[in-house]
Amino acid sequence: MSNNPSPSKAQTLAARGQFFAGNLSIAYKNPLKIVRGEMQYLYDDEGRQYLDAYNNVAHVGHCHPRVVKAAQDQMAILNTNTRYLGDQIISYAERLTATLPDSLNVCFFVNSGSEANELALRLARAHTGARDLVVLDHAYHGNTTTLIDISPYKHDGPGGSGAPQWVHKVPLPDLYRGLYRAEDDEASEKYVRHVKEVLEKIGRGHLCGFIAESLPRRIISVRSTLKYALPEVYVLLTKCRQDMDALVNTSGGSKVTMSLPT
């Protein structure tokens, strides 16, 4: 793969089939071979430019020069474990917590969303001494064994085996395509009613928490416009989530809010 000239797209596709597991999906019937990125654009092997409105991780654009330089500078000095004292990571924690509410003042630095959510579950279980978890339908929280267990998008999908007994699924409060929609004046209350029923089933003392994506994958393209195009719907959706959180708090559980990079 390292010899010049570069392999053709067909050769790359064949090599991927040889060395990668077959369950790893690839986008588009005619796959793109992306060779570089710059800010908001991706470029394929034929030099075609694409506006990247989908990629997961590049929050400030691909190959942002300030990010690249900062990473290069630090890698040239030190990259090691937090078991040692270091000023850089403390400075970063101070700057980060300064942007958050006063109660969020302790940092755990991890390498991925999956690692963050696994840690969040450990903290919630240690705090409550309980295991049962309420999740939203269609949610995806990561690719570890435990996170597949709490991700209906995965455990109810192809190859999935369903939710374990300690995972309790409630409808996603999607006011656009969901079970109850924006034209229903009681939509929020109806979604919350499902949470009440699950909490009654679990019983006090057995609830570990409620985990929810800050921006659910299923309605990401819709909710991102709701705040501006349909403010009354956005307010209703937000109220519904707040009511769900309040129910969990009164039932002795922890709230875990997560967001995969979007």
Give me the pLDDT at residue 246, please: 78
Q: How confident is the model at residue 176 (pLDDT cuts 50, 70, 90)?
A: confident
- List the one residue out of 247, 252, 227 whose CA is nearest residue 237: 227
Q: Which residue has 């769900």 as its token pair?
A: 244
Cβ–Cβ < 8 Å for 63, 38: yes
Residue 253 has pLDDT above 70, yes or no: no
Nearest to 176 by CA among 260, 130, 233: 233
List the beta strands (DSSP E) in the chain: 34-38, 41-44, 49-51, 132-136, 167-170, 207-213, 254-258
Confidence bin at 238 (pLDDT 50/70/90): low
Rounded to the nearest 10°, the torsion over CA 171, 176, 180, 184 is: 150
Q: What is the pLDDT of residue 232?
A: 53
pLDDT digits (tens, 9 = 90+) for 30-64: 999 999 999 999 999 999 999 998 776 667 899 99
Q: Rounded to two decimals, what is the model's pTM?
A: 0.81
Residue 112: phi, psi to the nearest 5?
A: -160, 165
pLDDT greater than 70 at residue 142: yes
Task: Give the span between the Cα atoms of 251 and 54, in whole angstroms.
Answer: 38
Domains of the chain: 113-258 (3.40.640.10)
Q: Which of 199, 147, 137 is nearest to 170 (CA)?
A: 137
pLDDT of residue 260: 45
Mean pLDDT taken over the chain: 84
Q: How many CB atoms lie within 10 A of CB 150?
A: 26
164: CB partners within 8 A, 6+ apart: 149
Identify the residue whose tokens are 């077959």.
22
Q: Other C-beta atoms within 10 Å of 21: how many?
A: 6
At 235, the pLDDT band (50, 70, 90 cuts) reads: low
> Which range, 121-130, 183-192, 251-260, is most confident?
121-130
Is residue 187 within 8 A of residue 230, CB to CB? The reply is no
User: Which residues 6+ apart lie within 8 Å of 48 measured at CB?
Assistant: none
* Tens digits of residue pLDDT in 110-140: 988 899 999 999 999 999 899 999 999 999 9
Tell me if 147 sits within 8 A of 224, measured CB to CB.
Answer: no
Most confident of 56-60, 211-215, 240-244: 211-215
Alpha carbon of residue 74 to chain centroid: 27
